Amino acid sequence: MLNLKYLLPDSYQDSIYQINYQGLAKQGIKALLFDLDNTLIDYVQTKLTVEVIEFLKELEKTFKIIIISNSHKKRVQNAIGTHFDLIYFAKKPLKFGFKKAIKNLGYKSHEIAMIGDQLMTDIYGGNRTDLFTIIVDPIQKKTDKLPTRINRKIENYFIRRVEKKYPKAYEEVLKKYAIKNK
């Protein structure tokens, strides 16, 4: 049974560039897990851009970084190269990939933030492994592949249910995302 409260992120921002990373460091976050597709690059792009690489390299001065993706090995390895640690075919929202990341990092769950564009995978999975979760807008929703399109339809349905059950939290962390990404 799906647990609605796991669909509530701890925070929402338009993009990875808007996140208050200093604030995260202050609250004790030591590592950042980033989703790949439509969080760092859209589905049409095959490699991280120089802009993204430089931005993440700057963050690496403060945080450990792992890119955690449900995409297959070839796509993920080709996109990231040797720039960052990665986990492919992570099967988010299952715990498997997150547990692997937590183990590799050697940090407590609450010292790790998960940043991604999908509630049903990134946020749900991050929350059930007790990570600090941040939802961002998808970079280019129209490039979503079929499974993600289906996920977003399911997501819309569950967002309505979250709104009913947790109206205050919905206002605070989901409303903007829900309106922009309907």
Question: Between residues 38 and 129, which has the closer beta carbon with respect to Mg ion?
Answer: 38
Strand order in the sheet with 64-68: 11-13, 132-136, 112-116, 31-34, 64-68, 85-87
Question: Between residues 62 and 140, which has the closer beta carbon with respect to Mg ion?
Answer: 140
Q: Least Å distance between CB 101 and Mg ion?
A: 16
Q: Least Å distance between CB 167 and Mg ion?
A: 27
Question: Between residues 25 and 150, which has the closer beta carbon with respect to Mg ion?
Answer: 150
Question: Between residues 73 and 108, which has the closer beta carbon with respect to Mg ion?
Answer: 73
Eight-class DSSP state of 143 = G
Q: Least Å distance between CB 35 and Mg ion?
A: 4
Q: Which are the contacts of 13, defined by CB distance < 8 A and separation ≥ 6?
A: 19, 134, 135, 136
Helix (H, G, I), strand (E, B) or coil at 163: helix
Q: Least Å distance between CB 138 and Mg ion?
A: 7
Question: Between residues 111 and 117, which has the closer beta carbon with respect to Mg ion?
Answer: 117
Question: Between residues 129 and 151, which has the closer beta carbon with respect to Mg ion?
Answer: 151
Pairing state of beta strands 64-68 and 112-116?
unpaired
Q: Least Å distance between CB 168 and Mg ion?
A: 27
Q: Least Å distance between CB 149 and Mg ion?
A: 12
Closest CA to 16 of 160, 175, 135: 135
Can you give the binding site for Mg ion, defined by CB under 5 A? 35, 37-38, 117
State phi, psi for 44 to the nearest 5 degrees.
Answer: -80, -35
| Concatenated DSSP letters of 106-130 | T--GGGEEEEES-IIIIIHHHHHTT
The CA-based diameter of the chain, rounded to the nearest angstrom, is 44
